[in-house]
Structure formats: C-alpha cells, structure tokens
A and B are shown apart, each in its own frame.
Chain A
Amino acid sequence: MIARLSKNIYMILIFLFLYAPVAVLIVFSFNKARSRAVWGGFTLEWYRKLFQNSDILRALQVTLIIAVVSALISTVIATVTCIGLNALNRRLRNLIMNVTYIPNITPDLVTGVSLMLLFYFIGLKTGFATLLLAHIAFNIPYAILSISPKLRQLDRNLFEAALDLGCKPRQAIIRVILPEIMPGIVTALILTFTLSIDDFVISYFTAGNQVSTLAITIYSMARKSVNPQINALSTLMFLTVLVLLLLVNIRTTRDLRDKQNQGDLSK
C-alpha cells in the first residue's frame, strides 16, 4: 500500500519535474501581465502580436523553408544510400552504418562549430545556403536510420521477382522497392522536418548574421528583454514538434506491431 503510494508519488514528481516548465510557459503565454511571475488574467494578445512581428514572421518563413527543403533532400539522399547499402555485403554495410551513427551522438555544439569552420575553410559565406547545407548534413543519418530497417525487413527475393517479371533494375526499384519502404521514407520526412525546426545550436553557428530561424530569434529576443511573445512562440513550437514526434512514434510502434504479427504468422 505504502509502497504503491510512494511509487505513484515518485511518478508524479518525475512528470512534474519534466513538464512543469513547459506548463508554466504555456500558461504564461496567455498571461495579460508582462511579468513572468504574476498572473494578470487571460489574453490572446501575445499571439496576435506574434503574427504581426515581421522579424518572427521572416524567421518562421526561413525555418519552414529550411525544414521542408532539408527534409526532402536528406530523405532522398538517405533513400538512395540505403538502397545502395543494402546491396553491399554485410561487413561493409555494417561499417558504413556505424560511421553513420557517429554524427547522431556527436554533441550539436561540436557539429555546429565544425560545420562553421568547414564553411569558412572552403570560403562559403554563412547564410541561407550554409544553413540549409548544415541541416541536410545533420538530418541524413536520422533519415537513414528511419529507412534502413524497412529495407532489411524486405524479402530479398522481391527485387529479383521484379526483374524476373520483366523490370529493368531501375524499374524494379521504383515499382517494387520504393512502395515497400514508403512507410520508412514518410517517417524519415516527418522526423527530419521536426529535427530541423527543433535545431538551435547548429543553426546558430551556420546561419551567419543575415538569416535567422525561429529558434535563433527566440534566443536573441530572450537575451534582449522580457517579451511574453517568446512564451507564445515557444508554446506554438512546442506543440508543433510534439505533434510531429507523436506521429513518428505512432508510425514506428505500428510498424513494430505489424512486424510482430507477421512474425507470428510465419511461425
């Protein structure tokens, strides 16, 4: 009894600890008072102002364009890479996959700084282009990790069956392999889009002075003054990313379940 009670209290504390800051943020984004400590009544004022703030709108535009374009490009590159990797022998494939994992565990700071140095080194002026390149670069490993399991699940005879039925190799990939791994590709698109919106550190180092993403804008606004618009903007971003991540999670668990069901059938 007491054990269960303490277990529950422990759970509640953890969730409180995890979500209290966000909850406060969301609540205060509707706060009439400018203060971050006093509740002055409900208002949508900050949201209205947010959508009149030209800096923020420009940053939103940049963020969305970067997210969409980098998601598309990195997913295409990852898809091609995965199909190529799948045709390699196991040892080489594992080697390349392991190299692919490394950027995932490198701190963003290191990635950001090193990309910035690289751009300086090859003489690229930081701006929209470098920002885009950076986002594509850090998205590719995540896209590969979303797509490659799908390819590995694939019956390896499917490709041969397509050839056997008259497909040229390229046709076989387009008509059979791509439709089969489409769920992985869609997951990769959503995930890379989300990561791109979410990123601050790498963007900060690679965007230069002229271009700004939402995350960078929020950061500079927060440094200058107390502005409740930040709360509103952060709330919106939190909800967007939350929805997208939920989507990814639902897709992967559904996948896992399908795979288990198939496993049961084949036994």
Chain B
Amino acid sequence: MKNYFGKNKRKSVDVPSATSPNRLGNQTGPSHIIEVIGVNKYFGEAHVLKDITFYIRNNEFITLLGPSGCGKSTTLRILAGFEQPDSGDVFFEGKTILNTPPHQRKLNTVFQRYALFPHLNVYDNVAFGLSIQRKLSRAEIRTRVEQALRQVNLEGYGKRWVDQLSGGQMQRVAIARALVLKPQILLLDEPLGALDLKMRKEMQIELKNMQRSLGITFVYVTHDQEEALTMSDTIIVMKEGVIQQIGRPTDIYNEPENAFVADFIGESNILPGRMTRDFEVEIAGHSFVCVDPRPGSDDVDVVIRPEDVRLEAPTENSISGVVSSVVFKGVHYEMLIETDQHEWLVQSTEKANEGSHVGLAFDPDEIHIMKKSEHSPDRQPTVPDGDAKFPEQSPEDDW
C-alpha cells in the first residue's frame, strides 16, 4: 500500500501550488461547503481543540486523522451539532450553524458503534428519518428505503432485526439510514473500527465508490493512516487538539510538515540533520545533495521513507551498517540496518543477509527536509504496530 504512494511521487512535479500545505479557511467561496474558523473547545480543564481552522470543499472526501484523544471526534461532533465550541465559528454554505440544533442541520452521521435502533427492524431503521419528516407518502418512503438498501448492497434485508446482522451489515444499515435522507454531507466517525481487516478493506473501497457516485461530501474520522491515504481527497492530521497538516494524501505522505506527521503517516526514518546551505544536508557525518532549500535554521529533521533506501556495497562515502533483522512481508522484505547513530528501516524486494555489512543509498529527491519541531525525534525509527488497531476509549468519548 505504501509503495503506491512511494513510487511515482515527486514533489516538484505533482504538487500544484494551489494546495498549500496549510489550507486555511479565510478564502471564502461557494465551493467551500463547510468552514471552521478558530474553534476552541474545553472539557473541564482539558483544552481539546486549539484554534481549529479549516474548510471543506463541496463533494470532497476529507479525513480527520490522528491518534485517539487528538480531538478529531470532537471536531466531528461540533459539525453534527452534538457539541458547541467554546469559541470560534462554523459556517455551512456561508452561514453560521452554531445556533442550528442537530435535527435541523443538513448533514447526517454514521456513528462509531452504529447506534441502530434495536427495537426496529432494518427497514424501519432506514425509514426512521423519512417517517419523522411526515412529508412523504408510505409508497415514496418505501421506494427511497429500498433504493438506499440497494446502495449498500442490503436488498431484501428489510425484515431482519438489527441483532441478527453481522458488524459489516450493521454498518451498511447505518450508512443507508443516513444516506436515505440525501444529506449534503455525511459524517463518519471511525465507521470501520469494529470490523475485521478484510471487511474493512472492502468497505474502504465501497465507501469511496459510494462517495464518488453520490457526489456528496464525506467527512471521515479515523486513526488509521492507511485508511486515510486510501480514501481521502484531503487529509487533516491532528494531534492533541492542534492541526498538524492539511493536504492531499500524496502531499501528506511525501511532504510531511513535521516529524509527527512523517511518523504517523506510514513508516519512516526520521533523523537529525544539519543544513548550512540550500540543497545540501549533512546526515550522520555524510553530506548529501537534496532538493529542498535551507529552512532557516541549521538543525533540521530529515525523513527518508524505508522503501526509498537502496542497499549497496558499502563505500567510504556512504552511511553503512550491519543488517540486524530481516522479515519477509509478502511484497517486500523489511530490514533493520544498525549504523553508528541510528537504526534504519529499509523495505526492499531484494533480500540482504542478516549480519552482512551494507551501505545505504538514496536519491536527492527522496530526502525530505523538515523544520525542527516539538515532535522532533530523539529516538529509533518506529514501526506502526501492524493492522490490528482497535479504537481506544479516548477522553472525549467519556462524558
């Protein structure tokens, strides 16, 4: 999956200047369906959202991504109207919606644990919103509900009870229940968190297709970086209530704003570097040509993705080390290379032998320079702990 974004990425070529990494909400326009301006939120003492500002374009798939407790769910709940910000404003098509109660907002939510009504069968769950409106005849409701069930591949499930469904099916009912109201925006709060890996992958593709064919805006909350990269048009990376970066998946992956983003989005080697002039960086005592200008200070963070590192015979001018572990991952081998200062993570289809002495090589455009930040590492590279991630109870879940 990572290779996808790793292969053809080249910063200078495919990053138009229009998508500046810090997309702020001050340029209003008809294409921005939602604008969140300077939102702060406190839960008691805890400052859970710190000056959140972003906009959402019409018809885009936007993902709020971050570890649990980063404020992504709270942001979504503010959009839905279940929480009020302590300061700041939220605009829907140019008008503030802070005084609009949830039931009058033109957006619908798919909840993390589905929140289906257990006393109703599938059909009545999906028909619920329409029957509240009392505008449609029974026949019209039937047509709309059946269409919605078709959209989520649950034709003929109308008479089933909610507790007779599998997790994936419940999730589909929850989506159908929201879609049947034809919302302009669908909010999804970690909707795939409770599903197993295979189901999750299938649903990711289905959701993306659904969003494209319906032509509506999806706002998606997840802590799973891979999910975010797969589905999103735009990703907002958050940490501890602060937006770290806003951008397209390729931007976020190839041009991480700081060490936190680089680390959170995929596996990476993050190293301290020194830059005394433009386009040249010193890493581990060796000098390398790179494509980035000097960011204003000598000390920088350098990101090199593991799939971008080539293993060669060691020379005097290369960083070299000993292969300390080799793990077969299917498409590639994942290897750890122990050097003097650092343990490098390398992914390659070519296997190196454990214990052998190798040199590390990488092209200038594969070296990404970041400004030093509070997230700068003082440590070994981190490997995300596989795919088995479950939603944890985050502080904002508890009320």
Contacts and interface: CB of A to CB of B under 8 A. Distances in A.
Q: Note whether A and B form a binding pair.
A: yes
Interface of A: 89, 155, 157-158, 160-168, 171, 175-176, 179-180, 182, 262, 265
Interface string B84-118: 00000000000000000111000011011101111
Nearest to A154: B118
Q: Is the interface of A mostly helix, strand, loop or mixed?
A: helix
Given A160-B111, A176-B117, A180-B118, A165 B177 contact: yes
A255 to B, nearest CB: 13
Considering the complex of A and B, which 4 residue pairs feature the smallest CB-CB distances, nearest first? A157-B115, A165-B129, A161-B115, A163-B102
A171 B103 CA distance: 11
Interface in B156-196: 163, 177-178, 181
Nearest to B133: A166
Instruction: Give the contact-size bracket for chain B.
Output: 20 to 34
Interface of B: 80-82, 101-103, 108-109, 111-113, 115-119, 128-129, 132-133, 163, 177-178, 181, 399
Contacts of A179: 117, 119
A144 B101 CA distance: 30
A165 B120 CA distance: 15
A168 to B, nearest CB: 6
9 contacts: A155-B113, A160-B82, A161-B115, A162-B128, A163-B101, A165-B128, A166-B181, A175-B132, A176-B117
A164 B102 contact: yes
B119 A166 contact: no
Contacts of A161: 109, 111, 115-117
A18 to B, nearest CB: 39
B117 A158 contact: yes
A147 to B, nearest CB: 16
B94 to A, nearest CB: 23
A167 B132 contact: yes
Contacts of A155: 113, 115
A160 B102 contact: yes
A167 B103 contact: yes
Contacts of B117: 158, 161-162, 176, 179-180
